[in-house]
């Protein structure tokens, strides 16, 4: 039987699609570099900088407890420092045993490790805290200002992905454990663990919420349609769509990131929406006593045009994110658009033969849930038709009250705020900042016009002035520059007389000090040409908005003070993070404009009438406005996680409008009275769109139970946007149709 | 008296002559022969240190260096920079001895005073070059264990590959050195330096030019390359004088802070080509 063969072939295809463990093939990488395009000037500058200077994305380990400065603990620390350094991906381990200390003696001068095994013998245990604190490089970085805490900084080489950061973190902790230091570790903070925690959170959410949302959808489908085949096919279709779509990351050369981790939930929900319309068609066809191929053909004919348009508009909404310059957002848009098209293709091509062959029994039509929904939809439609002006007035009043909230929406990303207050990384970061110094690195890069420009006395004085100014800013906890080394050399050569901890007044002496400097640390702050140097700042702020304020203040100061023969650039992790925010806002605006244009064009092609296209467009922009109102109301920032929600909402929300308006227009075209046409469309499709939205809303709401804030915001805003869109479609759209459509004709 | 080592040591030969010897094995015997390689009782030279960083014009420093062997393992040396102008007359005095740690003093004309430098700074970079202070010190061969790894050619010359590892890990900046010893001159034509037990070397010495002067094999040019950064230090000897009978008081703090007292022993300054 040809039908059977086709059905089996389709089923096997679906099963194969489900058997692809796509995540195993993906590069999982949520490194900050992923979030900025290579063409970005700050990224290019940063890449150039890293050729001469080390990475600023580090791992900080804080030690507290009894006997921290004892021979035993410090020896263990030295041992662990050496062991961790052996990892090929670790560039440097900075601890008291491995940091250069410039010191003066009665007749001499030395640059030696601050507190290695040799120093242990020289400095009494009772003097060690004071001795280490006296080193300006160690204070606030390796030893606390007040509390007796020690720190270790592990600096990796430039790493390719999050997996390597995870490996570094695991290796460092393992070596510290081998050295029996685990009991003294009270915090592990910095960009490396932050990123690994993000990865863990996003993977946990993928493996928790995708099955939960799918299961929830399956339960609802089972309750609504009471067809086992529908439940099984839903599971297989969603599995196939998600698996195959994720594989698209490979040809695009993109990793799986925090942003892309939202694709499985999104696709599961959107695919289910298409399926519900198909199943609703089958249910209606079954009600007309159609069977087999006729039933499937009827259902397909019923949904094909609106479903094609809804899929196309959803894909267009998602594709609008391709306008974002942030690669993960761009590819989120492109790949999820491909995913929704794939889902549609499966529903249109693979499911019909399966349902034609295996779907024998009739679909139950006495479903009380469906009946209840239909009744509610009917009531709402009638109210909207009877009182259109009231509906419109309430809508306008709601908007007027809500719109000021939009101005409270902040474009701000704070990676720490992605985690709950009691998350280990939040607690660790707070602790490090409280005991030591800020963990957000920022750097002022100064370029001279020729070799040795940085050695010049006048330039050193200027660098000192900038450093002092930066240190006086409340957001800056620590600042280091080349001047510190020169001052310490001068101080060391004068028996550590504090009055000599200044820049020498003779140029040749500066040059001779620098000739004599025999450590490595200096060249992490100035290049060997002495043409480029960095002033390293540790900020105690984390949000892009606060970092931007610091950058602005520094920019003003540098513009006013720096001499024409020097060039300056603000760079570092903090600056890249701030730039990312600018792109995020630009991307959001571009994406919204793109989505609006694309959807307007599609609406115009569908309705062939400007006023109708504008009406439906307006109805679908309203949920976006509501989304921004909610963001303002609940202090949800426009950040990495929420940046793509507007595009997603516009894309999904338009589905209901198309289904409802298409039914209305179709009936009018076939000569029906407009009022009748409106009621018929709402009675027939209203319950389906309501069911779809309820299922999608539930699925996205489940994400609110995540412990990871980006997932929570994505779930909450998408669910809220969809429910708002449904309410507008059920109440506002009939009111507007009544007010704008000539019902007297 | 044992042949002196200072000049060869300064020009990067000292790194491999300090190999341990327990005269029984071939490796130990070879290390001893290298350590005892004839290089005069004293020596004075003029040369250049050229620091090369890719993409930048090289930095050239002119300098005199003097060396004297006081005993089998006590070696004295003095380095005096002549150029560029801002570092001219900066000097470094090193007294190596088997009995105690090396002693080093530096003279900064800008400060017009001599200061002692910690002798334990073995891994410190000498004047920002790729040469460590340990490379300038006279490391006694008995401090290392030696092993012959085989034979190979370096620049078409036959060489024996000698691996040397410190007996006490904390008395060297290196965890291992592998030297390619030229059989007839006993000069190490190539040395690879390992740190912290790493599998790959961190820097490499290559001898580019050797010559016999006054009957002593002399390294005229060598290059040390930092294998991580690619930074290079080229050492060039332009003029060398052996066995002038350098006075003991040449190697004192007083001479270090008074360059005029050493001028009579200076070989002629030749321009760098």
Q: What pLDDT is recorded for position B24?
A: 43
Q: Which of B86, B115, B128 sits opposite A508 (nearest CB)?
A: B86
Nearest to B194 by CA among B183, B186, B205: B205
Q: CB distance A109–B90 less than 8 Å?
A: no
The residue of chain A with its CA nearest to that of B103 is A108
Give me the sign of the Cα torsion angle A139, A142, A145, A146. negative
Q: CB distance A516–B109 less than 8 Å?
A: no
pLDDT class of A64 with cuts at 50, 70, 90 = very high
**A99/A96 Cα distance (integer angstroms):** 6
Indicate which of A110, A175, A489, A503 best probes the interface with B, i.e. most B CBs within 10 Å of its own CB.
Answer: A110
The residue of chain A with its CA nearest to that of B197 is A86
How far the first Cα of chain A sits from its last, in Å, is 53
Q: CB distance B87–A109 less than 8 Å?
A: no
Residue A486 has which token pair? Answer: 């020169």
Please state which of the ranges A102-111, A329-338, B71-80, B125-134 shows the lowest mean pLDDT.
A102-111
Q: CB distance A86–B109 less than 8 Å?
A: no
Q: Which of A512, A518, A529 sits opposite B87 (nearest CB)?
A: A512
Q: What pLDDT is recorded for position A422?
A: 84
pLDDT class of B4 with cuts at 50, 70, 90 = very low
Task: State the nearest Cα–Cα gap between A486 and chain B, in angstroms.
Answer: 14
Contact list, A504 vs chain B (CB under 8 Å):
110
- Give B106: exposed, middle or buried? Use CB within 10 Å, 0-12, 13-18, 19+: buried
Q: Which residues of A196-215 are buried (b: 16+ CB within 10 A; e: fewer)?
A: bbbbebbbebbebbbebbbe
Question: Is pLDDT above 50 for A517?
Answer: yes
Nearest to A198 by CA among A708, A644, A716: A708
User: pLDDT for B180-201, tens place per residue?
Assistant: 999 889 999 999 999 888 889 9
User: pLDDT for A128-154, tens place per residue?
Assistant: 888 888 888 888 889 987 878 999 999
**A212/A715 Cα distance (integer angstroms):** 13
DSSP assignment of A100-148 equals EEEEE-SSEEEEEETTSHHHHHHS-HHHHHHHHHTSTTTBTTTB-SSS-
**A319/A333 Cα distance (integer angstroms):** 5
**A513/A504 Cα distance (integer angstroms):** 10
Task: State the nearest Cα–Cα gap between A522 and chain B, in angstroms.
Answer: 10
**A94/A99 Cα distance (integer angstroms):** 6
Q: CB distance A506–B196 less than 8 Å?
A: no
Q: What pLDDT is recorded for position A379?
A: 87
Contact list, B256 vs chain A (CB under 8 Å):
none
Length of chain B: 273
Contact list, A513 vs chain B (CB under 8 Å):
108, 110
ipTM of the complex: 0.84
Q: What pLDDT is recorded for position A566?
A: 94
The residue of chain B with its CA nearest to that of A117 is B170
Q: CB distance B56–A529 less than 8 Å?
A: yes
Identify the DSSP state of A411.
Answer: B
Question: Is pLDDT above 50 for B6?
Answer: no
**A123/A144 Cα distance (integer angstroms):** 19
Pairs of residues, one from chain A and one from chain B, whose beta carbons lie less than 8 Å apart: 86
Q: Which of B86, B116, B126 sits opposite A507 (nearest CB)?
A: B86
User: pLDDT for A35-60, tens place per residue?
Assistant: 788 888 888 888 888 888 887 778 99
User: pLDDT for A408-437, tens place per residue?
Assistant: 888 777 777 778 788 888 899 888 888 888
Contact list, B128 vs chain A (CB under 8 Å):
514-515, 517-518, 528
Three-class DSSP category at A255: coil
Q: What pLDDT is recorded for position B82?
A: 94
**A111/A119 Cα distance (integer angstroms):** 12
Q: Helices in A562-644 by DSSP H: which ranges?
A: 573-607, 610-633
Residues near A645 by beta carbon (within 8 Å), at least 6 away in sequence? A627, A713, A714, A717, A718, A721
Q: What pLDDT is recorded for position B123?
A: 67
pLDDT class of A470 with cuts at 50, 70, 90 = very high
Q: CB distance A110–B118 less than 8 Å?
A: yes
DSSP assignment of A200-223 equals HHHHHHHHHHHHHHHHHHHHHHHH
The residue of chain A with its CA nearest to that of B85 is A508
Q: CB distance B121–A451 less than 8 Å?
A: no
Rounded to the nearest integer, the mean pLDDT of chain A is 86
Task: State the nearest Cα–Cα gap between A82 and chain B, in angstroms.
Answer: 7
Q: CB distance A512–B197 less than 8 Å?
A: no
Contact list, B110 vs chain A (CB under 8 Å):
504, 506, 508-513
Q: Which of A86, A108, A512 sits opposite B118 (nearest CB)?
A: A108
Higher pLDDT, A355 or B55: A355
Nearest to A174 by CA among A84, A66, A247: A84
**B77/B6 Cα distance (integer angstroms):** 7
Q: Which of A493, A512, A518 sits opposite B125 (nearest CB)?
A: A518
Task: State the nearest Cα–Cα gap between B113 and chain A, in angstroms.
Answer: 9
The residue of chain B with its CA nearest to that of A516 is B127
Question: What percent of chain A has a predicted confidence (pLDDT) above 70?
Answer: 99
Q: Helices in A226-326 by DSSP H: which ranges?
A: 228-247, 263-287, 292-319
The C-alpha angle with vertex B206 and arms to B200 and B209, in degrees rounded to 5, equals: 175
Q: Which of A86, A108, A112 sits opposite B197 (nearest CB)?
A: A86
- What's the alpha-carbon Rg for chain A, to the nearest Å? 32
Question: Is pLDDT above 70 for B119?
Answer: no
Q: CB distance B115–A517 less than 8 Å?
A: no
Q: CB distance B109–A529 less than 8 Å?
A: no
Question: Is pLDDT above 70 for A744?
Answer: no
CB B220 within 8 A of CB B211: yes
Please state which of the ranges A231-245, A549-563, B61-75 shows the lowest mean pLDDT.
B61-75
Q: CB distance A528–B133 less than 8 Å?
A: no
Q: CB distance A519–B197 less than 8 Å?
A: no
Q: CB distance B106–A109 less than 8 Å?
A: yes
Contact list, B53 vs chain A (CB under 8 Å):
528-529
Three-class DSSP category at A502: coil
Residues near A117 by beta carbon (within 8 Å), at least 6 away in sequence? A75, A78, A97, B170
**A370/B253 Cα distance (integer angstroms):** 101
Contact list, A107 vs chain B (CB under 8 Å):
115-116
Three-class DSSP category at A32: helix
User: pLDDT for A713-731, tens place per residue?
Assistant: 888 998 998 888 888 888 8
Question: Is pLDDT above 60 for A252?
Answer: yes
Q: CB distance A112–B116 less than 8 Å?
A: no
Contact list, B90 vs chain A (CB under 8 Å):
512, 515-516
User: pLDDT for A167-221, tens place per residue?
Assistant: 999 999 999 999 999 999 999 998 889 888 888 888 888 888 888 888 888 888 8
Question: How many alpha carbons lie under 13 Å from residue A605 in its C-beta half-sphere?
Answer: 13
Question: What percent of chain B has a predicted confidence (pLDDT) above 70?
Answer: 86
Task: State the nearest Cα–Cα gap between B118 and chain A, in angstroms.
Answer: 5
**A453/B146 Cα distance (integer angstroms):** 47
Residue carrying the six token digits 């600096």 = A155
CB A320 within 8 A of CB A592: yes
Three-class DSSP category at B238: strand
Residue A261 has which token pair? Answer: 């981790």
Task: State the nearest Cα–Cα gap between A592 and chain B, in angstroms.
Answer: 46
Torsion of CA A64, A70, A75, A81, to 10 degrees: 30
Chain A residues with CB within 8 Å of chain B CB: 82, 85-86, 105, 107-112, 117-118, 451, 493, 504, 506-520, 528-529
Q: CB distance A528–B231 less than 8 Å?
A: yes
How far the first Cα of chain B sits from its last, in Å, is 37
Nearest to B119 by CA among B130, B103, B108, B143: B103
The residue of chain A with its CA nearest to that of B126 is A518
Residues near B253 by beta carbon (within 8 Å), at least 6 away in sequence? B93, B105, B114
Tell how far CA B113 is from the center of its chain.
25
Q: CB distance B87–A515 less than 8 Å?
A: yes
Contact list, B197 vs chain A (CB under 8 Å):
86
Residues near A444 by beta carbon (within 8 Å), at least 6 away in sequence? A466, A470, A534, A535, A537, A554, A558, A568, A569, A570, A571
Q: What pLDDT is recorded for position A664?
A: 84
**B221/B215 Cα distance (integer angstroms):** 18
Q: CB distance A86–B111 less than 8 Å?
A: no
Indicate which of A93, A516, A527, A530 best probes the interface with B, i.e. most B CBs within 10 Å of its own CB.
Answer: A516
Q: Helices in A226-262 by DSSP H: which ranges?
A: 228-247
Task: State the nearest Cα–Cα gap between A52 and chain B, in angstroms.
Answer: 9
**B90/B106 Cα distance (integer angstroms):** 7
Contact list, B81 vs chain A (CB under 8 Å):
515
Higher pLDDT, A379 or A742: A379
């Amino acid at each position: 039987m040809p039908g059977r063969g086709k059905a089996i072939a389709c089923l096997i295809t679906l099963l194969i699609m489900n058997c692809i463990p796509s995540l195993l093939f993906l590069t999982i990488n949520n490194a900050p570099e992923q979030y900025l395009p290579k063409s970005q000037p700050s990224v290019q500058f940063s890449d150039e900088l890293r050729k001469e200077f080390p990475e600023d994305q580090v791992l900080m380990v804080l030690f507290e407890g009894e006997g921290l400065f004892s021979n035993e603990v410090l020896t263990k620390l030295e041992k662990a420092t050496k062991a961790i350094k052996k990892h090929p991906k670790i560039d440097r381990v900075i601890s008291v045993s491995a940091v250069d200390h410039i010191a003066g003696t009665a007749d001499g001068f030395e640059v030696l490790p601050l507190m290695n095994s040799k120093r242990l013998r020289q400095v009494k245990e009772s003097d060690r805290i004071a001795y280490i604190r006296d080193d300006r490089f160690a204070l606030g970085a390796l030893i606390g200002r007040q509390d007796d805490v020690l720190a270790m900084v592990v600096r990796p080489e430039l790493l390719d992905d999050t997996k390597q950061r995870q490996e570094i973190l695991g290796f460092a902790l393992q070596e510290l454990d081998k050295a029996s230091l685990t009991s003294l570790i009270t915090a592990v903070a910095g960009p490396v663990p932050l990123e690994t925690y993000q990865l863990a959170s996003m993977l946990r959410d993928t493996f928790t919420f995708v099955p939960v949302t799918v299961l929830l959808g399956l339960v609802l489908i089972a309750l609504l349609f009471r067809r086992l085949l529908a439940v099984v096919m839903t599971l297989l279709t969603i599995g196939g769509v998600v698996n195959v779509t994720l594989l698209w990351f490979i040809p695009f050369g993109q990793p799986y990131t925090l942003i892309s981790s939202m694709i499985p939930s999104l696709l599961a929900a959107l695919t289910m929406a298409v399926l519900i319309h198909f199943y609703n068609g089958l249910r209606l066809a079954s009600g007309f006593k159609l069977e087999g191929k006729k039933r499937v053909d009827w259902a397909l004919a019923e949904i094909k045009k609106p479903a094609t348009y809804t899929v196309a508009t959803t894909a267009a909404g998602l594709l609008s994110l391709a306008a974002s310059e942030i690669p993960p957002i761009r590819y989120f848009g492109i790949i999820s658009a491909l995913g929704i098209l794939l889902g549609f293709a499966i529903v249109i091509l693979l499911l019909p033969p399966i349902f034609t062959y295996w779907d024998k029994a009739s679909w139950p039509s006495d479903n009380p849930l469906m009946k209840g929904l239909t009744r509610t939809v009917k009531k709402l439609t009638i109210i909207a038709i009877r009182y259109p002006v009231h509906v419109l007035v309430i809508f306008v009043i709601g908007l007027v009250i809500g719109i000021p909230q939009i101005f409270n929406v902040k474009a701000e990303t704070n990676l720490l705020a992605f985690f709950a207050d009691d998350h280990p990384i939040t607690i660790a970061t707070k602790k490090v900042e409280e005991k030591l110094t800020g963990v957000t690195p920022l750097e002022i890069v100064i370029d001279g016009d020729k070799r040795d420009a940085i050695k010049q006395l006048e330039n050193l004085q200027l660098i000192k002035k900038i450093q002092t100014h930066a240190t006086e800013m409340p957001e800056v906890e620590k600042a280091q520059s080349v001047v510190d080394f020169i001052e310490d050399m001068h101080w060391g050569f004068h028996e550590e007389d504090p009055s000599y901890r200044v820049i020498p007044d003779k140029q040749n002496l500066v040059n001779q000090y620098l000739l004599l400097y025999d450590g490595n640390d200096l060249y992490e702050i100035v290049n060997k040409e002495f043409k480029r140097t960095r002033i390293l700042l540790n900020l105690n702020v984390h949000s892009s908005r606060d970092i931007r304020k610091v950058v602005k203040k520094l920019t003003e100061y540098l513009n006013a003070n720096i001499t024409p023969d020097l060039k300056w650039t603000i760079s570092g992790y903090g600056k890249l993070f701030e730039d990312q925010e600018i792109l995020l806002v630009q991307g959001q605006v571009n994406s919204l404009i793109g989505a609006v244009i694309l959807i307007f064009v599609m609406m115009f092609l569908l309705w062939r009438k400007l006023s109708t296209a504008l009406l439906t467009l307006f109805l679908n922009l309203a949920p976006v406005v509501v989304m921004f109102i909610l963001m303002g109301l609940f202090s949800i920032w426009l950040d990495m996680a929420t940046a793509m929600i507007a595009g997603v909402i516009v894309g999904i929300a338009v589905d209901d409008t198309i289904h409802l308006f298409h039914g209305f227009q179709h009936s009018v075209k076939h000569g029906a009275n407009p009022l009748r046409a409106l009621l018929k469309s709402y009675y027939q499709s209203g319950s389906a769109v309501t069911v779809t939205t309820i299922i999608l809303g539930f699925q996205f709401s489940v994400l609110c139970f995540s412990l990871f804030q980006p997932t929570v915001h994505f779930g909450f805003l998408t669910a809220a946007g969809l429910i708002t869109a449904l309410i507008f479609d059920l109440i506002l759209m009939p009111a507007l149709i009544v007010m704008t459509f000539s019902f007297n004709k | 008296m044992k042949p002196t080592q200072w000049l060869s040591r300064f020009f990067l030969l000292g790194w491999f002559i300090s190999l341990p010897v327990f005269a029984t094995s071939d490796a130990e015997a070879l290390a001893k022969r290298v350590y005892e390689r004839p290089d005069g009782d004293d020596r004075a030279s003029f040369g250049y240190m050229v620091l090369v960083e890719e993409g930048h014009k090289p930095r050239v420093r002119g300098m005199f260096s003097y060396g004297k062997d006081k005993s089998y393992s006590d070696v004295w040396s003095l380095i005096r920079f002549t150029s560029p102008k801002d570092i001219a007359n900066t000097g470094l005095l090193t007294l190596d001895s088997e009995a105690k740690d090396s002693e080093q003093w530096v003279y900064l004309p800008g400060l017009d005073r001599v200061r002692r430098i910690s002798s334990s700074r073995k891994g410190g970079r000498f004047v920002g070059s790729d040469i460590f202070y340990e490379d300038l010190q006279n490391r006694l061969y008995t401090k290392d264990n030696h092993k012959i790894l085989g034979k190979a050619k370096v620049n078409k010359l036959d060489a024996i590959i000698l691996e040397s590892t410190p007996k006490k890990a904390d008395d060297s900046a290196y965890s291992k050195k592998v030297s390619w010893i030229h059989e007839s001159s006993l000069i190490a034509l190539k040395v690879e330096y390992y740190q912290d037990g790493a599998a790959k070397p961190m820097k490499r010495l290559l001898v580019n030019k050797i010559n016999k002067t006054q009957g002593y094999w002399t390294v005229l040019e060598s290059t040390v390359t930092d294998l991580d950064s690619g930074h290079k230090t080229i050492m060039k000897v332009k003029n060398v004088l052996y066995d002038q009978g350098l006075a003991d008081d040449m190697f004192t703090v007083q001479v270090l802070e008074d360059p005029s007292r050493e001028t009579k022993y200076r070989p002629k300054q030749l321009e760098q080509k």
